[in-house]
Amino acid sequence: MKTRKLGNTQLEVSAIGLGCMGLSHGYGPATDRSEAIALIRAAVERGVTFFDTAEVYGPYLNEEVVGDALAPFRDQVVIATKFGFTFGDDNKQQILNSRPDHIRWAVEGSLKRLRIDCIDLLYQHRVDPDVPIEDVAGTIKDLIADGKVKHFGLSEAGVTTIRRAHAVQAVTALQSEYSLWWREPEQEVLPTLEELGIGFVPFSPLGKGFLTGAIKQGTTFGSDDFRSIVPRFSPEALQANQALVDLLGKIAQDKGVAPAQIALAWLLAQKPWIVPIPGTTKLHRLEENLSAATLELTATDLASINTALSHIVVRGDRYPAHLKARAGR
C-alpha cells in the first residue's frame, strides 16, 4: 500500500484508510463484533495503517471494536477519533458540546475504549457555535503537551474556523465530505488547506454507497439507516442522479475496473495530501476499494471525467434540514 502525508506535520498514513463507522452505526444494525474485528484486521494485513472512528458511533461501541481489533497492531497504525457531543439520557440525542472540560472527559473515555495511551489524530466532530474555536484549539494544544493527543483535526469546518483554529494549534487534517457527487470543497476549502499545509480526509468518498452502483431507483432504507432521511436518497433524487452512476459505470467498464475504484482514484488524483476513508462491512469490497490506490488516471482521463461531470447536475441536499447547519461553520 502506498502512503501519503497529512499536513506539514508529516503524519504518514496509507493512501486509503478505513472508515469504521458503518460497522457499528449509521447504516443499519451493527456488524457482529467478531466479524467487524476480522474485517479491520484484514485491512491491516492488506496495508491499511489509517483507521477512523468516533465516540458518537454507537455511541461508544465503534471505538471499543476498533480498540479490540487494533490492539495487536498498535505500533503499526494511526488511529483517528472525534469528540464534540453529549448524547442525552437515552444515548441517542446528539447535543453539540465542545467545552474544554467536556473535551478532556471525552478524551479519557476514548483512550480507555481504544485501549491506547495517546490518540494519534483527534478531530472536533462538528463545530460548536457556543464555544470559541480558539478555546477548543487551546484545549487540544494542552492535551498534546500532556502526551494524550498527537495531532489536531477538524471535521466539516468552514475556512474561517479552520484559520482561527490553526492560529492557536496547527491543524493536521480536515475531515469533510468530498466525492464526485459533492465537490463543494473545491471552491474554498481545498485552496485554504493547501495554503496552510493541512491534509484532507474525505469521508463518504463513495457517496454513502451511491457511487458504487449498488443503489438503484426503488432502493429503500430501514429506519436505522441514516440514508432514509437524506434528501439525496429520496426516490426522486435517486432517479435524477442515476446519470452520474451511469457515467462512472461506463468509465469503469472501459478501464476494466469497478465504479468505486474510479471514484476513489479520482479523489487520490486531486491532491497528494488527500486520503479518503471509504467504509465497508464486506471483505471483497474492502479489497476492491484498496486496489484503487494503484489505479492511475491519466490527465486525459481526468479531463474527460470533468468534462462529463460538467453536464450532470446532482440533485438533493446531502443532509436533512435539521443537520445542515452543523456543516461548514
Q: Which residues are catalytic?
A: 57
- CA-nearest of 29, 110, 39, 45 to 69 is 39
- H or E element, residue 149: strand 149-155
Q: What is the DSSP code (8-state) at residue 205?
A: T
Residue 129 identity (one-letter amino acid): P
Does residue 295 contact residue 269 with C-beta atoms inside 8 Å? no
Residue 303 three-state SS: helix
- CA-nearest of 281, 213, 291, 163 to 174 is 163
- Compute the distance between CA of residue 155 and CA of residue 175 in angstroms, rounded to an integer: 5
Helix axes 133-145, 100-114, angle to 10 degrees: 40
